[in-house]
Chains A and B, each alone.
Chain A
Amino acid sequence: MYGWTGKILHINISDKTVEIETPCVEILNQYVGGKGLGGRYLRQNARLPWNHPDMVFCIFSGPLAGTSSPTSGRAHMVSKSPLTGLVADSSVGGKLATRLKKAGWDGLVITGKSPFPVGIHIMDERIEFQDAAFVWMLDTHDLHRKINPQKASLVTIGPAAQNGVRYASVIVDQHFAAGRSGLGTCLAEKKIKYILVNGTGHTRVKNPVLLKKAREDILRLTAASPVLMGQSGFTCLGTGAVYDLMDNRRMMPTDNFTHTKFAHAARLNASMYTKTYHPKKHGCLGCHILCKKTGTHDKKSIAMPEFETMSHFTALIGCTDTDLVVQANRLCNIYGMDTISAASTLACRREITGKDYTKETVLSLLKDIALGNGEGKDLGLGAAAYAEKMGFPDAAMAVKGLELPAYDPRGAYGMALGYAMSTRGGCHLRAYPISHEILRKPVATDRFSFSGKARIIKIAEDLNAVVDALTACKFTFFAASLEEYARIYEAVTGIETSTQDLLQKGETIYYNERIINALNGFDIKDDDLPTRFFTEKGTSGNSIDIPPINREDFIEARSKYYKIRGLTQKGLPTTEKAASLGLEWNSL
């Protein structure tokens, strides 16, 4: 077999037994890997509660991981979200996917609950379970130091997950977070503190010559991309490069989305971090873009925040201190918490209580959340549950329970539709309309119009679903396209594949997620945005008007989306469409 290893490791953590599944190439080709294969196993347990012992926690690589395919070394984690009850999944960088492949595994499917804290050691086919009671309370950085993984990949959770924070993340190789949906809490429920992976094998490539040619084409395209490799792009400034743009376009979520422009933005942008922390390039194993940045603070190396963290820990919560952002980012990483959800929950609290923050109160609250102290216990439930509990449900800026990232939908209507339709809740990455609405790739679209957006969002969701199944990086698709990756897929696996074949796999993967969510009671009532966006205007000025979104236009676009996606007008799957994609669905 080429590309895949052809082996999936099933671990029952209750009794510490393992089984090896060897799926046929047809199954692997249908679901590809990453999000696709993870979704296949989640579907089999779709109706179980997130904390049921039989609920799966999946980690999958993709067929391209471990080859020279550009930016293809990400891993994908899949389970059910303790925060939302939806599909929980997250793409994560580092070297995890590559090490999994080297160890001979396309992925791990973990079920059960251990009676005591455990660490899983995977070295090729040797699987060992270590008592992790003595490291259970360590934060992710201390654990990393203690384990000292060297060339192995280390997956960890921090105290936030163990204390039941519903948006706890999984930290990989110290700096890379599977941030959204609370996947850390899923691992904590199974009492898995860490997973250490290493191996000695290699991914077999069917046609190295074709792979080399397609790789060169992608490298040429990324070099031509101002967003990726231009001097204001991600390679030079990290994802924080977007910060100025969001403010200039008047779509920077400010004061819990009550405004869309932040007066202090000019001195909190990526250039300011560059001047202050002198960051160096860093990234996933084998990546040439290197969007992550590591700076220097008090003569120590420190991870630089991503764009969403920069934006939410300043404009969203009304703070103006880059050091606060860096420290908050550090705390979230060592405690293992999603920065977007954490900041958004704090913004919700600020709106409800009317209390402004200082650097000290923010850092103190983050610690309370992670450790489950006092008010932190309620804040650890996420913005929606917290706001509900406080009697102000409208103050939660979340879709289906997942807090919104740093793009105000009143400034980009594709983003508005993308948020509402996303299968994991308020997520910018499912359809990633920022690409055409702001970054002009592949071409620019009118950001203040729903015209054509229903199909654009549907196609983009299919695209990004298969990108997550290939475990490639979405950033690359600001420059390259599935045309180049179809050739790479063919070169690596030897299976004749077209762009449209890949898009269809993406459509199947995405529809499978709609089915899983429908089985858990999600429908049209959940495919919506917070009321604020339809009733309150943003911050207009400089010839840019930011009115509230017209609700009728939104509803019309949603209705078109349902039709195009092959859903009923209640947002539910249909038997016919499911069957056409090779999926099973019997109406509720």
Chain B
Amino acid sequence: MEQLVNKYAQKLIQAKLGKASGPSQPIIGGLDDMLVWNRPARETQVLEKIFDHLNINSLVFLRPAQPYKSLIRYLANQALSTTNGLIQPKDCETRTFLHDLPVIDSFNPKKICAVLKNRKSVIINPMDDTDSFEGPAIIAHGTVSPEQGFVTVSSVCFAGFIKFFTDYLESLQTGQATQAAHDLFDEITPYIQEEQKKAPKFIPFPFADEKTVYSAIIEAGRKTVEYGLVDSYFGNVSYLWNGTLYISQTGSSLDELESCIDPVPLDHSTSAGLTASSELTAHLETISRTGCRAILHGHPRFSVILSMDCDPMEKATCEFNTQCHIKCPKKRFVDHTPIVPGEVGTGPTGLCRTLPVALEHSDNAIVYGHGLFTISQDDFSHAFDTLLSVENRCRNLYFKKVFRLRNNPS
């Protein structure tokens, strides 16, 4: 347990959601017969009471670092004052796994337990300036491993980021942007406008043996994380070699794909895909339709944000405007990148039914509110370059739109 609480504290720091020192240093507790913490902290007095009242084995506490700190505080303030204490992001990960994000206004064990007895996470956001507790903070729990809390906290930060930037653009388009939103945008923009690096080199095609295929997938996963093209560590990667699709496993961290790749034969002679990524069917269908070898899927933020950007006037009259993620009836693009609806997995509205069709005509496509898929015919270089360039393009387009609307609100 000690090893796990330290590992996930470190991963929160590496993902830039937390910091190695100061208030944003993560606090993670793990309980088997004894409770262990990754570090001593004043907050553990309250957090220990949560362990007393809930049938759980782990807890993650994080005061998120910037820009998440400011934007989560902003969204939490809104939620407490207008929407019954719930932040309601529209991105796919939240919709599928978290549903919405509950917020409370004090670091009180009773109040925290009242939420966590039903939900995976709670955001603590004191509204009273005299409250000595420094917010906002996110608390998430698990019944199996601290990894559950880590995944939830990461997803909360990602969802908050997507929600703020999506809502801000829409508010500018409808002329309803508040001064508080402008101020927040200006405050956090410096944290996110980093210049993107040039794409790295990858193991070149052709791959001589199976071992090289594994190495190439592990490399692609690791670099996708290093370049910040994922929500924390999540996404999926596959490569077709000798009639077998090698694909990252479900719930695997893209920076730790060693021992987390499943070989899935195209002739269906084994069920090795049982633990494969939930997008296995979409990958197989894509390969069948396009003849590509490599597929990369990340959740780059501005690609996700722009995929949800829709003309507010049009949206207001669209009969599917509450089901954009599964029923958007329009052919939409960011530049030349198609945007398709579709949910995770294989259901009737699954992205496996929309994405492969789009990739027949383009080497990349964005799934509404979810993420970007790119393909290559040989090694991972082209797929990665595309992932990076589409995200950079989306980032530039987003800021252009925002500045244009701010400078010319009419």
Residues of A in contact with B (beta carbons under 8 Å apart) = 217, 219-227, 229-233, 237, 240-245, 248, 266, 269-271, 274, 436, 438-445, 451-456, 459-460, 462-463, 483, 486, 498-501, 503-504, 507, 560, 563-564
Partner of A443, one of B151, B275, B346, B350: B151
Of all chain B residues, the one with the shortest Cβ separation from A247 is B270
- 17 contacting pairs across A/B (C-beta < 8 A): A220-B96, A220-B347, A223-B350, A232-B280, A244-B271, A244-B272, A244-B274, A245-B272, A269-B270, A443-B142, A443-B147, A444-B145, A452-B4, A459-B143, A483-B120, A486-B118, A501-B117
Shortest distance between the CB of A303 and any CB in chain B (Å): 19
Cβ-neighbour of B281 out of A231, A241, A271, A454 (below 8 A):
A231
> Which 8 A/B pairs are nearest by Cβ-Cβ distance?
A223-B347, A232-B273, A500-B117, A224-B345, A224-B344, A560-B33, A498-B117, A232-B271
CB distance from B320 to the nearest CB of A (A): 16
Please report which residues of chain B, range 275-313, place their CB below 8 angstroms from some CB of chain A when the two chains form the complex: 275-278, 280-281, 284
B57 CB–A CB distance under 8 Å: yes
Are A452 and B1 closer than 8 Å at their CB atoms? yes
* A231 adjacent to B284 (CB under 8 Å): yes
Residues of B within 8 A of A220 (CB): 95-96, 343-344, 347
Chain A CB within 8 A of B264 CB: yes
Distance to closest chain A CB from B373 (angstroms) = 16
Q: B55 in the interface, Cβ–Cβ < 8 Å? A: yes
Interface string of B133-163 (1 = CB under 8 A from A): 0000000001111011001000000000000
Q: Is the CB–CB distance between B268 and A271 below 8 Å?
A: yes
B278 touches A225 (CB 8 A): yes
Which one of B4, B252, B272 has the highest number of Cβ atoms from chain A below 10 Å of its Cβ? B272
The answer on a CB contact under 8 Å between A454 and B33 is yes
Q: Which residues of B contact A (CB under 8 A)?
A: 1, 3-4, 30-33, 53-57, 95-97, 99, 116-120, 142-145, 147-148, 151, 249-252, 264, 268-278, 280-281, 284, 343-348, 350
Q: Identify B343's interface contact among A224, A503, A560, CB under 8 A.
A: A224
Question: CA of A444 to CA of B147 in the docked complex: distance in angstroms?
Answer: 9
Q: Is the CB of B264 within 8 A of A232?
A: yes
A191 to B47, CA, bound (A): 57
Give Cα A243 to B270, complex, Å.
Answer: 9
Q: In the assembly, what is the distance between CA of A507 and CA of B55, in Å?
A: 10
Does A440 lie within 8 Å of B249, measured CB to CB?
Answer: yes
Q: Which residue from chain A places its CB closest to the CB of B346 in the assembled complex? A: A229
On chain B, the residues within 8 Å of A440 by CB distance are 249-252, 275
The CA-CA distance from A65 to B32 in the complex, in Å, is: 35
On whether A498 and B118 interact (CB within 8 A), knowing A224-B344, A226-B273, A443-B147, the answer reads: yes
Q: Find chain A residues with CB under 8 A from B30 CB.
A: 452
Contacting pair A504 B55 (CB below 8 A): yes
Contact B118 A436 (CB under 8 A): no
B350 touches A563 (CB 8 A): no
B193 to chain A, nearest CB (A): 33
The residue that A223 contacts in the complex, of B147, B277, B344, with Cβ under 8 A, is B344
Residue of B nearest to A559 (CB): B33
Contact of A451 with B120 at beta-carbon distance under 8 Å, contacts A226-B277, A233-B274 already known = no
Query: Cβ of A219 and Cβ of B347 under 8 Å apart?
Result: yes
Residues A221 and B97 in contact in the complex (CB < 8 Å), given A503-B55, A507-B55 = yes
Cross-interface CB contact of B118 among A244, A456, A499, A504, cutoff 8 Å: A499
Contact between chains at A232 and B56 (CB < 8 Å) = no
CA distance A226 to B97 in the complex (A): 15
Known: A456-B57, A459-B56. A226 touches B274 (CB 8 A): yes
A442 touches B350 (CB 8 A): no
- Chain B residues near A499 (CB-CB < 8 A): 117-119
Min Cβ gap A364→B in Å is: 32
| A441-B251 in contact (CB<8A) | yes
Q: A271 and B33: CB pair below 8 A?
A: no
CA distance A455 to B141 in the complex (A): 14
Known contacts A245-B271, A245-B275: does B345 contact A230 (CB below 8 Å)? yes
Find out whether the CB atom of B281 lies under 8 angstroms from the CB atom of A230.
Answer: yes
B118 to chain A, nearest CB (A): 4
What's the minimum C-beta distance from B162 to chain A, rounded to whole angstroms? 18
Are the C-beta atoms of B118 and A564 separated by less than 8 Å? no
Apart from A230-B274, A443-B142, what 6 extra A-B contacts exist at CB < 8 Å?
Answer: A242-B271, A271-B268, A271-B270, A455-B57, A462-B55, A500-B55
A49 to chain B, nearest CB (A): 35
| A226 & B250 in contact (Cβ 8 Å cutoff) | yes
Q: Which of B95, B145, B249 has the most CB of A within 10 A?
A: B145
In the bound complex, how far is the Cα of B272 from the Cα of A451, in angstroms?
27
Q: Report the nearest B residue to A272, measured CB to CB.
A: B269
Report the separation of the CA atoms of residues A219 and B3 in the bound assembly, to the nearest whole angstrom: 35
Q: Which of B96, B97, B118, B275 is the one whose CB lies under 8 Å from A500?
A: B118
Neighbouring B residues of A498 by C-beta, 8 Å: 117-118
Contact among A271, A439, A451, A456 with B269 in the assembled complex (CB-CB below 8 Å): A271
Q: What CA separation (Å) do A445 and B32 show in the bound complex?
A: 14
Closest chain-A Cβ to B335's Cβ sits at a distance in Å of 29
Min CB distance B138 to A, Å, is 17
- A residues near B151, Cβ cutoff 8 Å: 443
Known: A269-B271, A443-B144. A563 touches B97 (CB 8 A): no
Cβ–Cβ contact B347 & A243, under 8 A: no
Name the B residues within 8 Å of A455 (CB-CB): 31-33, 57
- State which of B274, B278, B280, B350 has its C-beta within 8 Å of the C-beta of A439: B274
Query: Is there an interface contact between B99 and A217, defined as CB atoms closer than 8 Å?
Result: yes
* Contact A500/B270 with A229-B346, A455-B31 known, Cβ cut-off 8 Å: no
Nearest-neighbour CB distance to chain B for A121, whole angstroms, equals: 40
Interchain CA distance A221-B344 in the complex, whole Å:
8
Q: In the complex, which residues of chain A have a beta carbon less than 8 angstroms from the beta carbon of B99?
A: 217
- The answer to whether A226 touches B144, judged by C-beta atoms less than 8 angstroms apart, is no
Chain A residue nearest to B4 (CB atoms) is: A452
- Residues of A near B274 (CB, < 8 A) are 226-227, 230, 232-233, 241-242, 244-245, 439
Contacting residues, chain A, for B273 (C-beta < 8 A):
226, 230-232
Alpha-carbon gap, A445 to B144, bound state (A)? 8
Chain B residue at minimal CB-CB distance from A240: B271
Given contacts A226-B277, A229-B346, A451-B1, is CB(A560)–CB(B32) below 8 Å?
A: yes
| Beta-carbon contact of A500 and B54 below 8 Å | yes
Q: What are the residues of chain A within 8 A of B142 when measuring CB–CB?
A: 442-443
Shortest A116–chain B CB gap in Å is 49
Complex Cα distance, B117 from A224, in Å, reads 24
Chain B contacts of A560 at CB under 8 A?
Answer: 32-33
A455 to B142, CA, bound (A): 11
Given A441-B251, A452-B1, CB of A270 within 8 Å of CB of B271: yes
The docked-state distance in angstroms from the alpha carbon of A458 to that of B348 is: 37
Cβ contact within 8 Å between A436 and B55: no
Residues on B with C-beta less than 8 A from A241 are 271, 274
* Chain B residue at minimal CB-CB distance from A504: B55
Q: How far does the alpha carbon of A229 sit from the alpha carbon of B282 in the complex, in Å?
A: 13
Contact between A223 and B32, CB atoms less than 8 A apart: no
Q: Are the CB atoms of B118 and A483 closer together than 8 Å?
A: yes
Closest B residue to A236 using CB positions = B271
Contacting residues, chain B, for A563 (C-beta < 8 A):
33
Contacts of A439 in B (CB 8 A): 274-275
Interface centre among A220, A221, A271, A441 (most CB of B within 10 A): A220
Q: How far is the CA of A460 from the CA of B119 in the complex (A)?
A: 17
Q: Whole-angstrom distance between the alpha carbons of A361 and B16 in the complex?
A: 64
Check if A226 sits within 8 Å of B275, measured CB to CB.
Answer: yes
Q: With CB as the reference atom, state the residue of chain B lying closest to A562.
A: B33
A486 to B55, CA, bound (A): 15
Which of A221, A225, A229, A455 has the largest number of chain B CB atoms within 10 A? A455
Residues of A within 8 A of B277 (CB): 226
Most chain B C-beta atoms within 10 Å of own C-beta, residue among A442, A503, A564 = A442
* Across-interface contacts of A244 in B (CB, < 8 A): 270-272, 274
Task: For residue B117, give the distance in angstroms from its CB to the closest CB of chain A.
Answer: 4
In the bound assembly, the distance between CA atoms of A459 and B148 in angstroms comes to 15
Given A225-B345, A500-B118, check contact A444 B270 (CB 8 Å): no
Q: Which residue of B lies closest to A564 (CB)?
A: B33
Contacts of A225 in B (CB 8 A): 278, 345
